[in-house]
Copies of this chain bind each other. A is one copy, B any other.
Amino acid sequence: MHVMILGAAGMVGRKLVEKIAREPLVFGRPVTRLTLADAFQPPVPESLRPISTALTVDLAGAGAADRLIEGLPDLIFHLAAIVSGEAEADFDKGYAVNLDGTRALFDAVRQAGLTSAYVPRLVFASSIAVFGTPFPEVIPDEFFTTPLTSYGTQKAIAELLLADYSRRGIFDGIGIRLPTICVRPGAPNKAASGFFSNILREPLVGKEAVLPVSDSVRHWFASPRAAVGFFVHAATIDTARIGARRNLTMPGLSALVSEEIEALRRVAGDKAVALIKRVPDPVIERIVAGWPTQFDAERASSLGFKAETSFDEILKAHIEDELGGRIA
- A residues contacting B by CB (< 8 A) are 91, 132, 142-148, 150, 153, 156-157, 160-161, 163-164, 167-168, 244-245
Contacts and interface: CB of A to CB of B under 8 A. Distances in A.
Given A142-B143, A153-B160, A160-B157, A148 B91 contact: no
A145 to B, nearest CB: 6
A214 B42 CA distance: 60
Contact of A157 (B132, B144, B148, B157): B157
A68 to B, nearest CB: 21
Contacts of A163: 146-147, 153
Q: What is the oligomeric copy number?
A: 2
B168 A150 contact: yes
Across the A-B interface, give the 8 residue pairs with the lowest CB-CB distance, nearest first.
A153-B164, A144-B144, A146-B245, A157-B157, A142-B144, A153-B160, A156-B160, A157-B160
Given A132-B244, A244-B132, A147 B168 contact: no
A136 to B, nearest CB: 8
A167 B91 CA distance: 12
Nearest to A100: B103
Most buried by B among A147, A164, A168: A164
Nearest to A88: B168
A161 B148 CA distance: 11
Contact of A168 (B91, B142, B167): B91
Contact of A148 (B132, B144, B167): B167
11 contacts: A91-B168, A132-B244, A143-B144, A144-B144, A145-B145, A145-B160, A147-B160, A147-B163, A148-B244, A153-B160, A153-B161
Nearest to A246: B146
A309 to B, nearest CB: 26
A12 to B, nearest CB: 24
A141 to B, nearest CB: 8
Given A132-B244, A143-B144, A144-B145, 13 more contacts: A144-B144, A145-B160, A146-B244, A147-B163, A147-B164, A148-B167, A150-B168, A153-B160, A153-B161, A156-B160, A157-B157, A157-B160, A160-B160
B157 A161 contact: yes
A132 to B, nearest CB: 6
Contacts of A157: 157, 160-161
A24 B319 CA distance: 72
Nearest to A141: B144
Contacts of A160: 145, 147, 153, 156-157, 160
Contacts of A146: 163, 244-245
A144 B153 CA distance: 14
